[in-house]
Amino acid sequence: MNLFKKYITVLLVGVLLLTITGCQSETKPNEDTSANAQDNSNEDTSDATNTSSDTTDEQDSNDNSESSITIKDCVGRVVVLDKEAERIVDLTTMDGVRTLIQLGAQDRVVGFNESSHTVFNGKGKAKKNYIIVSQVAPELKDLPVVGNIKEPNIEMIISLNPDIILIDSMAKNSAEAIQNQTNIPVVCVGTFGSFEYDMLDMLGTIVGEKERAQELIDFTKTKLQNITDITNNIPQEEKKRLYYWTHPMKGHAPKTNANYEAFVLAGANNVAVEADVIPKGVYEITKEQIIAWDPEYIFIHSPFKDDFDGWMSADLAKEDEVIQGTQAVIQDKVYPIKGELGGWDMSTQAAEVFYLAKILYPDKFEDLNVEKEGNEILKKYYNLDGLFTDMSHQIQLYEWE
């Protein structure tokens, strides 16, 4: 084994150990337990110790309230709440409010950040984004704006009298400062491209919707098993090699992401995992690196329903000199994919596992109806029919006849 292969082996073992030791849900004996999820990290500089929740008999000695709740957030911080949260300020880039909508607890949100306000009101770039949450909960568009994570409006936050404040996990260094300034518990949330089931469990515990959280967890695992029962049996050397071109901006260096778990579940080898060093989250690479990888498939990050200045569609990307000469272009295997947008949506990730599997292994999934499965998944999370069909048309995903 050469030095490069040794490095990759050590790196993957390390990731496995983090996955095993993190993301453990602690519950009392008479409570349901949620299964562990693989943890992938984003641009934060520290390893994310995943979420766990526990209604507290074993609470801090200084907290004597029987209704208090102790949780461990997505970066491993232990946070004690006096009670279930009835009023929530969300400073995340959509991950907080999105998950609360999926739990049926959007009425608990009393204020959110500038980017969420832009999304729900369809302003600026958000006009061209395909956003599910603004269709599901349009009433949130009139919520007070509390600044952003870099410049939170502390006075506004305090005036809203929230029980908790949610922030992005990659902004964890701001958690203690905001908590100290407001004297309000701060909880870090974020999925980083993985199926972070324990985040659902944690937020479900916080808002008293643990049963709904477990329902979504069990549903998603059962759905995905229909794919993984097949893809897990594909020998590693036979798995299709793909390159994920994320944020494909004209005139900019190509970017990729090694942390999107949907690729793994669909039975693909993401070539970004082969890099000498694998940064957390999105990172730039060179044209030469793509040519060296020579992927069989290329998936273009395409979350927009209309042309966005400088952002390349899958059709435009096929013509870009960066990927000319690769197997993917020669064999016309360049496809759009929704990917991440304002954080990661586990419902669309799950639907994309079906989409990817059908594209990568058409013979193995000949009878798979991607549209039907996608609609079922999104309806389970959002209680609206036809969302995948609409999303597919709007952002021009590949569609089967």
Give 278's pLDDT tier (boundaries 50, 70, 90): low
61 vs 102, more confident: 102
Residue of 58 and 76 predicted with greater confidence: 76
Pair (122, 180) in one structural domain: yes
Beta-bridge partner residues of 189 = 168
Total count of domains within the chain? 2
- Give a yes or no: residue 222 inside a domain: no
Q: How much is the CA Rg of the chain, to the nearest whole Å? A: 21
Q: Is residue 124 part of a domain?
A: yes
User: Is residue 35 domain-shared with residue 109, that is, in the same domain?
Assistant: yes
Taking a C-beta distance cutoff of 8 angstroms, is the pair 203, 211 a contact?
no
> What's the confidence (pLDDT) of residue 376?
98
Would you say residue 158 has pLDDT above 50? yes
Range of the domain at 305: 234-395
Residue 199 lies in a domain: yes
Which of 153, 184, 217 is the endpoint of a domain?
217
Judge contact between 52 and 198, C-beta under 8 A: yes
Contact 343, 303 (CB under 8 A): no
Q: Are residues 296 and 376 in the same domain?
A: yes
- Same domain (yes/no): 71, 194: yes
Average confidence (pLDDT) over 262-291: 84
Asked if 25 and 156 sit in the same domain, the reply is yes
Q: Are residues 238 and 173 in the same domain?
A: no
Q: How many residues does the chain have?
A: 401
The answer as to whether 367 is a domain residue is yes
Would you state the structure tokens that stand for residue 185, as one six-digit string? 């518990």
226 assigned to some structural domain: no
pLDDT score, position 21: 34
pLDDT in tens, 187-243: 999 866 778 898 999 999 999 999 999 999 999 999 999 999 999 999 999 999 999
Looking at the structure, do residues 246 and 345 belong to the same domain, yes or no?
Answer: yes
Only one residue has tokens 């562990």, namely 36
- What is the distance between the terminal CA atoms of the chain, rounded to a whole angstrom? 46
Whether the pTM exceeds 0.85: the reply is no
Contact 368, 356 (CB under 8 A): no
On whether both 179 and 36 belong to a single domain, the answer is yes
Does the residue 20 lie in any domain? Answer: yes
Higher pLDDT, 42 or 94: 94
Is 119 found in the same domain as 175?
Answer: yes
Average pLDDT over residues 242-269: 90
Instruction: Tell me the pLDDT tens digit for each residue of 346-370.
Output: 999 999 999 999 999 999 999 999 9
Three-class SS of the chain: CCHHHHHHHHHHHHHHHHHHHCCCCCCCCCCCCCCCCCCCCCCCCCCCCCCEEEECCCCCCCCCCCCCEEEECCCCCEEEECCCCCCEEECCCCHHHHHHHHCCCHHHEEEECHHHHHHHHCCHHHHCECCCHHHHCHHHHHCCECECCCCECHHHHHHCCCCEEEEEHHHHHHHHHHHHHHCCCEEEECCCCCCCHHHHHHHHHHCCCHHHHHHHHHHHHHHHHHHHHHHCCCCHHHCEEEEEEECCECCCCCEEECCCHHHHHCCEEEHHHHCCCCCCCEEECCHHHHHHHCCCEEEEECCECCCCCCECCHHHHHCCHHHCCCHHHHCCCEEEECCCCCCCCHHHHHHHHHHHHHHHCCCCCCCCCHHHHHHHHHHHHHCCCCHHHHHHHHHCCCCCC
Domain final residue pick, 217, 247, 277: 217
Does residue 401 lie in a domain region? no
**147 and 203 part of one domain:** yes
CATH of the domain at 287: 3.40.50.1980
Statement: residue 15 has pLDDT above 50:
no
Mean pLDDT is lowest, of 155-164, 250-259, 310-319, for 310-319
- Residues 180, 272 within the same domain: no
> For residue 400, is it within any domain?
no
Contact residues for 37 (Cβ-Cβ < 8 A; gap 6+): 23, 50, 194, 195, 196, 197, 198
Q: Domain check: are 389 and 251 in the same one?
A: yes
Give the neighbor-by-neighbor strand order of the sheet with 164-168.
109-112, 88-90, 164-168, 186-189
In Å, the largest CA–CA distance within the chain is: 67
